[in-house]
């Protein structure tokens, strides 16, 4: 089955993650969502990214500029790899991601290219 990368991000990622009243509710929703993904055999993997830790390298004017120059609205909080029948199917799965309504965020859906089975 084809795999898709769900990139979860948005402006409220950092400030809502650190809110002690909000964090348990967020954890509960993400746990339930991931359970649904597993039960439907769609879940492949996921990773939470560290808040405020990372860099973006950009080539400008002939040199590499060391960022992070990411606007808060573009911040990425984590990734999920899922299986889906099609891009439309993966998009429907992404619509139920808690980051959309809980964190006023976005989910970018990208098809993952199948790699050849290379064994040495």
Question: What pLDDT shows up at residue 75?
Answer: 74
Question: What pLDDT shows up at residue 78?
Answer: 87
Question: What pLDDT shows up at residue 79?
Answer: 93
- 81 Cα distance to chain centroid: 8
Where do we find the tokens 């991000």? Answer: 9
Domain ranges of the chain: 3-51+68-112
For domain 3-51+68-112, is the CATH number 3.50.30.40?
no
pLDDT tens, the chain, 120 aa long? 999 999 998 765 555 555 677 778 888 999 999 999 999 999 999 998 776 666 666 666 666 655 555 555 567 788 999 999 999 999 999 999 998 888 788 999 999 998 777 655
- Please tell me the pTM assigned to this model: 0.79
Q: Return all residues near 110 (Cβ < 8 A) that are at least 6 apart.
A: 4, 5, 7
Closest by Cα among 41, 34, 115 to 83: 41
Terminal CA-to-CA distance of the chain, rounded, Å?
25
Work out the widest C-alpha separation in the chain, in whole angstroms. Answer: 51
Question: What pLDDT shows up at residue 15?
Answer: 52
């Amino acid at each position: 089955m084809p795999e898709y990368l769900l990139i979860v991000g948005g402006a409220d990622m950092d400030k809502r993650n650190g809110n002690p009243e909000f964090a348990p509710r967020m954890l509960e929703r993400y746990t339930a969502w991931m359970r649904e993904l597993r039960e439907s055999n769609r879940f492949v993997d996921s990773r939470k990214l560290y808040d405020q830790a990372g860099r973006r390298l950009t080539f400008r004017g002939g040199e590499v500029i060391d960022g992070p120059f990411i606007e808060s609205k573009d911040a990425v909080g984590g990734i999920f790899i899922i299986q889906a029948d099609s891009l439309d199917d993966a998009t429907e799965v992404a619509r139920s991601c808690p980051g959309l309504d809980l964190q006023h965020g976005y989910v970018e859906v990208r098809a993952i290219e199948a790699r050849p089975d290379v064994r040495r």
